[in-house]
Amino acid sequence: SKQYSSSYEDQEIKVQETQKLLERGQIEESTSPWSSPIVLVKKKNKTMRFCIDYRRLNAITIKNAFPLPRIEEIFDQLSDAVYYTKFDFKSGYFQVPLSKEDRAKTAFSTRDNHYQFTVLPQGITNGPATFQRLINHILGPAGWKYALAYIDDVIIYSKTFEEHLAHLNEICGILKNARFRLNPEKCEIARTQTDYLGHQISNGEIRPSSYNISGLLNTKVPQTPDEACKFVKAAEYYRKFIPNFSQIAEPLRKFVPTTRTQQKKGQKTMITLTQDEINAFDQLKHHLTTDLVLRLPNIRFPFKVQTDASDEGIGAVLLQIYPDGDRPIAYLSKKFTQAQRKWSPMEQECYAFICALDKWHNYLSGIKFTWETDHKALTQLNQKAQINKRCERWRLKILEYDFKVKYIPGLTNSMPDYLSRSPVDDAEEDPDEISILISKATQTDFDNIPNHLHVVTAVETRAMKLRNAKLPNTNNTEQLKSDSLDTSLKENRIIPFTNEQLKEAQQQDNYANKILNSIKKRKNYLIKNDLLMHNPKHPVPYVPQGDLRRTILHIYHDTAANGAHFGRNKTIHKIQQRYFWPSLYKDITNHIKSCIPCAQFNPRRQKTPGILKPIKPPEGVWQLVSMDFHGPITPASQRGNKYIICLTDVLSKFVITKAVRDNTTHTAVRFLKEDVI
């Protein structure tokens, strides 16, 4: 594949990380004719994670048919045990050597050399099956007796504590002889209760983990008729599995509109449910989260994931397709952050699927499944050549999964729609920088971090800072140097000059003096703190012509702390929230066009405009005509006509017009038939 374009800084990172992999013996120099592109993903600590995009290689790879264990058979084995131990491998894929004849296919290139992996790389489609075959071979006779593995999730189970110690000692010896390294921070030793493959196991009882049903179980009582209606419709999807569904749901039926008028009337007004309605809500929710509807996974039946996103958050349901209908396995519901609310609909819908993959990785890895979404653009996600950076990172995450995307109308996507509009899980800050959203099977952890606790700490610390942060007092702010700012909080509040400097510059500016002399007539200006401000609803200071404007352009575009050489629209958005001057748009555009680093490292990605091709003129009259509506024109005529339809012969310029009531297709056809033809 063609290598992706990248900046000089990214090229340096690729070389450095490649050198680290080379020193560890995980890659070697190559003369392979194969080459997959490198992608760098930003981590929470601002460093980059090294990834390889193996999409084209995976598309032509013959799939490894080695079976993954059936989940229901695993639970059958665990049901009689009392003590459990779980092992987590340290970079498990990198502990598997790659055969010499297959290394060439994993090749990738940097600007100065060509390399190939000597160990199993992440992102390869046959990675899960290969690892499963290996771990089954290593466990040998112990497998299915007192040790099981689902890809890299190993569990040891015993009936008594003495047996468990003996089993634990034997498995540790087997892994030691196989030279497999464990991550002690993520291992659980001799527990009587544990979570495994999305289920809670305790004293021989196996039930769906509360983590899987919290998305629905913790939903609040509906506050509006619209929320109550959506819940009833979502529950109705599984009515065949709920005895006496109609009788249970009857108190909530009045919130389901039966006509279009009812749909538009009063659906957003606040309501208080009666006790009968609350009981019906709780009873339906109970049925949806017990084994009457919620099933343990059965690998014999195909899986599917339904996702949806709304203005409030995301929702998803993991289901299996049984002969008697779709059975839910788990639910997911999560709120959006303020930043995520501003994402495009495609990004929000794609994020719902990414969260579902992250939560249900144990179910979906290594099997074929269907993803159902009501966002049609996502059906072409893997075929799109140009998508934004965020979606590109997410596209890398799904490389290891084998699924097909299916579009379904929004009306049939009822449960995810309800969960997305009543999210219960807290939003996550900056999802693009949180390591957990980068797939375990598409990332290379070249830092050998012993555990991931620091990631959680970093997220909590940053969120705490944002909640507790106070705005600085701008009346006596000293000049800040952009180079000294090292946190996102300071980056967004950079102040290039003091109020006194701005006030002095305004007093010497002719345009400002002109406005001040007629301030009472200027509706868009006001005086605040002795400064001329623009836009009374969101006052921002007027910046006089000269050095102050150039300083602002430099800080909010050129500097690494707060500029980062963003494009025209982002730079305009950042500056106009803080300052104003009449030629702001024009000055920003000219500044970006004259920026040398932008010209060097941000090449034009659009196709060069082609040569205009004039339409060939007709050879006779009435061979080519043009027609259009003009309007609506107010007030309407006495006959109610609001539009004028006009037809022009292109050659003779002969015109036929008529006043009409609307601009519909039916009106246009009737005009052609009755007045022209």
Q: Read off the pTM.
A: 0.41
Residue 491 has pLDDT above 50, yes or no: no
Q: Is 412 left (phi over 0), alpha (psi -120 to 50) or beta?
A: alpha
Output the six-digit token pair for 663.
């601009």
105 within domain boundaries: no
pLDDT at 279: 84
Output the six-digit token pair for 665.
């297709």
Q: Quote the strand ranges of 227-343, DSSP E.
A: 303-309, 313-322, 325-335
Question: What is the tens place of the pLDDT at every residue in 81-112?
Answer: 888 898 888 778 888 899 888 899 999 888 88
- Same domain for 294 and 249, yes or no, is yes
- Same domain for 417 and 497, yes or no, is no
- Same domain for 335 and 268, yes or no, is yes
* Domain at 665, CATH number: 3.30.420.10
Q: How confident is the model at residue 265 (pLDDT cuts 50, 70, 90)?
A: very low
pLDDT at 342: 84
| Stretch 327-340: mean pLDDT | 81
- Same domain for 286 and 392, yes or no, is yes
Q: What is the CA radius of gyration of the chain?
A: 32
- Same domain for 594 and 630, yes or no, is no
**Domain extent for 338:** 223-437
- Same domain for 654 and 548, yes or no, is no
Lowest mean pLDDT among 37-46, 510-519, 572-581: 37-46
568 within domain boundaries: yes
255 within domain boundaries: yes
- Choosing from 437, 457, 487, the residue where a domain stops is 437
289 within domain boundaries: yes
* Domain at 550, CATH number: 1.10.340.70
As for how many domains the chain has, the answer is 3
- Choosing from 585, 600, 615, the residue where a domain stops is 600
Question: What is the tens place of the pLDDT at every residue in 606-651?
Answer: 666 777 777 788 888 888 889 999 888 888 888 888 899 999 988 8
- Same domain for 497 and 582, yes or no, is yes
| Summary mean pLDDT of the chain | 76
pLDDT at 68: 81
pLDDT at 436: 31
- Same domain for 530 and 584, yes or no, is yes
**Of 376, 301, 302, 363, nearest in space to 332 by CA:** 363
Query: CA–CA separation, 650 vs 158, rounded Å?
Result: 88
Q: How far is CA 85 from CA 168, 171, 378, 555, in A?
A: 8, 11, 40, 55
Q: How confident is the model at residue 482 (pLDDT cuts 50, 70, 90)?
A: very low
- Same domain for 544 and 650, yes or no, is no
Of 599 and 178, the one with more pLDDT:
178
- Same domain for 412 and 322, yes or no, is yes
User: Which positions ≥6 away from 41 have C-beta within 8 Å?
Assistant: 48, 49, 51, 393, 396, 438, 443
Question: What is the tens place of the pLDDT at every residue in 405-448?
Answer: 988 887 777 777 767 776 655 555 544 433 333 333 333 333 33
Q: How confident is the model at residue 396 (pLDDT cuts 50, 70, 90)?
A: confident
- Same domain for 545 and 633, yes or no, is no
Choose from 148-152, 271-275, 383-387, 642-646 the range with maximum mean pLDDT: 642-646
Question: What is the tens place of the pLDDT at every residue in 119-151?
Answer: 988 888 888 888 888 888 988 888 888 898 888
- Same domain for 421 and 274, yes or no, is yes
C-beta separation of 170 from 151 below 8 A:
no
Lowest mean pLDDT among 364-368, 480-484, 657-661: 480-484
Question: What is the tens place of the pLDDT at every residue in 284-304?
Answer: 777 766 655 556 667 678 899
468 within domain boundaries: no
Looking at the chain, the number of H-run helices and the number of E-run strands are 25, 23
127 within domain boundaries: no
Tell how strand 368-373 and strand 402-407 pair up.
Answer: parallel
Query: CA–CA separation, 353 vs 393, rounded Å?
Result: 13
**Of 172, 167, 173, nearest in space to 184 by CA:** 172
pLDDT at 437: 32
164 within domain boundaries: no
- Choosing from 437, 463, 482, the residue where a domain stops is 437
669 within domain boundaries: yes
Query: CA–CA separation, 130 vs 120, rounded Å?
Result: 9
Burial track 452-480 (b if 16+ CB lie within 10 A, e otherwise): eeebeebbeebbeeeeeeeeeeeeeeeeb
CB atoms within 10 A of CB 18: 20
Output the six-digit token pair for 373.
């979404």
Residue 6 has pLDDT above 80, yes or no: no
